[in-house]
């Protein structure tokens, strides 16, 4: 019997609630929540050569090439004699391409992933969630068309104007969702082929979704323990 935690990848579209679920899973199992954005910021702050290279792409608003993404994640996982790998973790935002998925298996060697959870939410649902977002231009407080400020559309906290960000407009969201589908479909197929993918419907109550995610992880993790 091992006391170490599960090794999980959480896949899901923008707006599927992936970040929230990943945080709760990390807390539930007392494992590290590795959100790609945080890992990149840490590498840039520590000024590792790969971290600095990644930062150049991010600052230019470009996609970071696969070898650099993989290098940054590898450095992070192998830091401190792979303690993180042995203790368990949940990856959120990585792997995003099939090349990254294959390389992740190489990095982990014998310490294979236990389960890949695909948080499945229909495109029209995430589109409505994201396109309904509104934000205060002064203080950054978030609102939604379903829960507007008392005085539409002026901020309850600071009186600033509450608007839709350009990134949240329907056409911009659709472009990102299409890019996600194109990149991630091969990742999903790769994990399905190797028998490690579990599809969890991500609609409905957040607590019910969390329970389903934990059940999916426990079912696979038991096999290793
Ligand atoms: Zn405000």
Ligand 1 centre distance from Cα of residue 149 (Å): 10
Q: How many CA atoms lie within 13 A of 92 on its CB side?
A: 23
Residue 96 bears catalytic tag: yes
Q: Are residues 52 and 64 in contact, defined by beta-carbon separation less than 8 angstroms? A: no
Report pLDDT digits (tens) over 144-190: 999 999 999 999 999 999 999 998 999 999 998 998 999 899 999 99
Residue 176 bears catalytic tag: yes
Residue 133 bears catalytic tag: yes
Residue 193 bears catalytic tag: no
Q: What is 7-224's CATH topology?
A: Rossmann fold (3.40.50)
Ligand 1 centre distance from Cα of residue 152 (Å): 12
Ligand 1 centre distance from Cα of residue 165 (Å): 14
How many Cβ atoms from other residues are within 10 Å of residue 50's Cβ? 21
Report pLDDT digits (tens) over 58-104: 899 888 999 999 999 999 988 877 888 889 999 999 999 999 999 99
Domain limits, the chain: 7-224
Task: Pick the catalytic residue from 74, 82, 176, 192.
Answer: 176
Q: Are residues 41 and 123 in contact, defined by beta-carbon separation less than 8 angstroms? A: no
């Amino acid at each position: 019997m091992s006391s170490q935690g599960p090794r999980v990848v959480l896949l899901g579209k923008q707006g599927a609630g992936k970040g929230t679920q990943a945080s709760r899973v990390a807390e539930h199992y007392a494992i590290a929540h590795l959100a790609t954005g945080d890992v990149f910021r840490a590498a840039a702050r520590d000024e590792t050569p790969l971290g600095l290279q990644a930062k150049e792409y991010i600052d230019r608003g470009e996609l970071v090439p696969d070898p650099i993404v993989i290098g940054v994640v590898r450095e992070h996982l192998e830091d401190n004699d792979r303690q993180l790998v042995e203790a368990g973790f949940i990856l959120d935002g990585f792997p995003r391409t099939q090349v990254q998925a294959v390389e992740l298996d190489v990095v982990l060697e014998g310490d294979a992933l236990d389960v890949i959870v695909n948080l499945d939410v229909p495109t029209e649902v995430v589109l409505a969630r994201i396109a309904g977002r509104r934000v205060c231009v002064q203080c950054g407080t978030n609102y939604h068309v379903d829960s507007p400020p008392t005085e539409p559309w002026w901020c309850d906290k600071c009186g600033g104007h509450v608007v839709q960000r350009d990134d949240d407009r329907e056409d911009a969201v659709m472009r990102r969702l299409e890019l996600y589908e194109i990149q991630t479909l091969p990742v999903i197929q790769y994990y399905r082929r190797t028998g490690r993918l579990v599809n969890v419907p991500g609609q409905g109550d957040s607590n019910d979704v969390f329970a389903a995610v934990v059940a999916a992880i426990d079912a696979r993790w038991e096999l290793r323990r």
